[in-house]
Structure 1
């Protein structure tokens, strides 16, 4: 009875403080060493990205360097269909918020342990992954799906670094088309804002009525540029004084001389008033 209890205990999932479930990872079937992954359901209130649904996303810690995104997708596919896999150096917001860039325009990835976000097709896959027993390791490299490491991996990376000119030209053309389209949309938006906030000769701005329920339009870049140009025109109309240092110094000397002259005149006036107020009975 004792051995059966021990075997039954090993078939249970291992949950550690913090709500993380421990999964064993084995590089190959013949490997004696095992690696530990820590998985938990991704629940972040501030996460508003549609790329990480709160009910179908699994957060993974301690992903080793030899596990690429396609390897992680294959390992966790046994718990259900995987929609997407995202590996990052540190936990954070989704990197899909900006435009998707080719690998030629992205900085080189850091080599080291990573964190992962695995999005399943079904919410039941999260429970299946969290209930996986610790005694059944996930095998990374198999005969059907071998994973290269060491010198073989470096040779493969060096071979993959060579790109055909036609393929590279296609990637560059696609990137430039998206960039030009985005620039045209930005220029069109600024043009519309400039037309709405265009001033007439007397300085009046035409205000148009928007749709019902729309919020007030904030200050745009075009409006800020017009205000700045207006202020510069006002400054140009004014006379430029004390441009040089010697002009400023002479102005200060003249001002001090006028103050001294006025002080002497005030002293004489006060002395005269005192003399007039002196008591003379005879």
Structure 2
């Protein structure tokens, strides 16, 4: 028997899936006491493969791991897998390859308590639920976003307030009036306690001055209107005398 030639091992999924399938085995030329098993359904798992091989080659396994997947994205949860099995004794490789085609088919469900088979319907349902969340999920996502946004804004205001109360490299602190977009002014750190005395006294405005100014403006406007009226009256008189009066 050529240990490096490709051998097969028959199996079935079980339940309503009774079609006979094949695992492919051969000796691993790059590693001592090792075999390579390929065409493993991704939902089966390493433990099931080891349990099946143990049925006809009961040898102690030193190491086993999944090498790769034939899925387009190399995902180990999809497609068909290839795994490597290393035994402690070299005769395990010979016996497993010599007997694999004479046994079986093994049933996968005999080695799994609650197998989860891949289903297009389940995949489509899960994808639909991801793309179109329910009203409760949308509300939960909205509440989470609002809470996170409020927390970020509160933290930003807190950080801005902290920066305004700390002196810069030159020892100055930027001070602005509250509730007004005023020009910023700089004070020395030792002058900060005196901020309350910076606001100047409000000037007292004489209301009589404004009353007089309003009255004066009205008189000037009335005189301008009267002057314009006299100019228009003289122009109309001149047009009448020239007999070129065209009111329209």
Q: Same fold (TM over 0.5)?
A: no
Greater relative contact order (CA < 8 Å, ≥ 6 in sequence): 1
TM range (shorter): 0.3 to 0.5
Report which of the two has the higher share of strand.
Answer: 2
TM-score by length of 1: 0.35
TM-score by length of 2: 0.39
